Structure 1
Amino acid sequence: MSIASSNRVISSDLVEGTAVYNNEGDQLGTIEGLMIDKVSGKVRYAVMEFGGFLGIGTERYPIPWTMLRYDVDRDGYVVPLDKARLEGAPRYAAADVPNYDDTYRDDVDRYYTAPARRALL
Structure 2
Amino acid sequence: MADTIERNETDRLIASDKVEGTTVYNPQDERLGTIRNVMIDKRSGKSEYAVLEFGGLFGLGSDHYPIPWEMLTYDTDKGGYVVNLTKDQVEGAPRYRGEEAPDYNHAYGRTVYEYYGLGYPML
TM (norm. structure 2) is: 0.86
Task: Output aligned runs, 1:77-96, within 5 Å.
Answer: 77-96=81-100
User: Which residue of 74, 80, 104 corresponds with 1:100?
Assistant: 104
Tell me which of 11, 15, 36 is aligned to 1:7. Answer: 11
The answer to whether the 8 A contact 2:53-2:59 is kept is: no
| Aligned residues: CA RMSD | 1.1
- The share of aligned pairs that are identical, in percent, is 54
Of residues 54, 67, 71, the one that matches 1:67 is 71
Q: Deviations over 1:24-83 (max 9, x none)?
A: 000000000000011111000000100012222100000000000000010000000010
Which is worse superposed, 16-25 or 47-56? Answer: 47-56
Gaps of 5+ in 2: 1-9, 119-123
**More contact order relative to length (CA 8 Å, sep ≥ 6):** 1
- Structure 1: unaligned runs, 5 residues or longer: 1-5, 115-121
Q: TM-score, normalised by structure 1?
A: 0.87
Q: Which has the higher helix share?
A: 1
Runs of at least 4 residues off by over 4 Å = none
